Amino acid sequence: MNKPGSMLILIPDYVYKNSLKQFEIENADSLNEWTLDSTLFANSLYIQNISDSIILKKYIDNLIIGLKQYGFKIFTESQTDSFMLISPPSFIVNLSQIELEEYIMPVRDEEYFNDGDLYFMEFDLNAVNINSWFEITELNTQDQESKILFTSDYTFDDIEGGFRQMPFTWEVKYKYTIDTLTVDDIYDFAEFLGKEYAAYIYDYNMNEYIKKHLPENVLPDYYFHYNRQRQSLSPVLEDKFIEMKP
């Protein structure tokens, strides 16, 4: 891209929150949807204690900081009139929805000992997804179609451990510690994702620019990530938006 341009950032008023721990609720199958959702929320470890305003502020503030670092001039909703007077390239980035999902993530650690004996340990860890839906529209172009882009990342209990074989007895034991996920950890994660998704937005716009400037009926071989610190490009498969079908 010749220059990043300007962006109008639109944000949601609230955060959707869901608990996926139906197995913890007695007779969950017999409850209607509203009652089940309310019961799950009331029994949740995290989502009932998450402040929408705090998580949105941490997420959005760092999204804006990240976009400014990429060179975008940022406008907020209260500056819409000024934004509409800006010359291209200009983009509307609508963070249309954020969703938190609380669930249990099973993990398994295993190792072979004694000429092939398999030992394993299984854990149920607390985990929270942060799902985000973006709509990005470039203004003043022939194709002003809004693209819906999805991304999801998760954070979970931090576990450190491993198998150890005792000297002399050769008994295999598993020693571990769990640093339990907290609400503050989730806020910190939202802060991290704000910066991360600023890079996703830059990469998306860059790859769209590349597609538009290729010869007709020619598609790019790769989806590229721009490393701002190294000022270099590299292909990526996973760390990017998923474009949703209309």
pTM, two decimals, is 0.89
Closest listed residue to residue 45, CA positions, set 183, 187, 191: 183
Q: Where are the beta strands (DSSP E) in 20-157?
A: 73-76, 90-113, 117-138, 147-156
pLDDT at residue number 142: 67
Q: How far apart are CA 57 and CA 182, in angstroms?
A: 18
pLDDT at 143: 67
Contacts of 6 (CB under 8 A, 6+ apart): 72, 73, 74, 75, 83, 86, 89, 90, 91
Tokens of 101: 């999902």
Q: What is the pLDDT of residues 165-182, one digit of tens each?
A: 888 888 899 998 999 999
Query: Residues 121, 134: contact at Cβ < 8 Å?
Result: no
pLDDT of 198 reads: 98
pLDDT at 92: 95
- Give the per-residue pLDDT at 144: 64
Cα 23 → chain centroid: 25
Low-confidence ranges of the chain (pLDDT < 70): 1-2, 142-144, 246
What lies within 8 Å, CB to CB, of 240 at 6+ separation is 151, 200, 203, 204, 223, 225
The owner of tokens 């910190």 is 188
d(CA 160, CA 127): 16
**Which residue, among 245, 14, 15, has the nearest Cα to 130 in the 3D structure?**
15
Structure confidence at residue 183 (pLDDT): 98
Cα separation, 7 vs 244, in Å, equals: 21
Q: What pLDDT score does 23 carry?
A: 82
Q: How many CB atoms lie within 10 A of CB 133?
A: 18
Looking at the DSSP assignment, which residues form a beta bridge with residue 104?
A: 126
Report which DSSP code applies to 116.
T
**pLDDT tens-digit series, residues 129-154:** 999 999 999 987 766 677 899 999 99
Whole-number pLDDT of residue 41: 93
Taking the CA atoms of the chain, what radius of gyration do you get in angstroms? 23
Place of tokens 């001039």: 73
Q: Give residue limits of the domains in the chain.
A: 6-104+130-155+182-243
The two three-digit tokens of residue 67, written as one number: 């976009």
Report how far residue 142's alpha carbon sits from residue 123's, in angstroms, rounded to the nearest whole number: 53
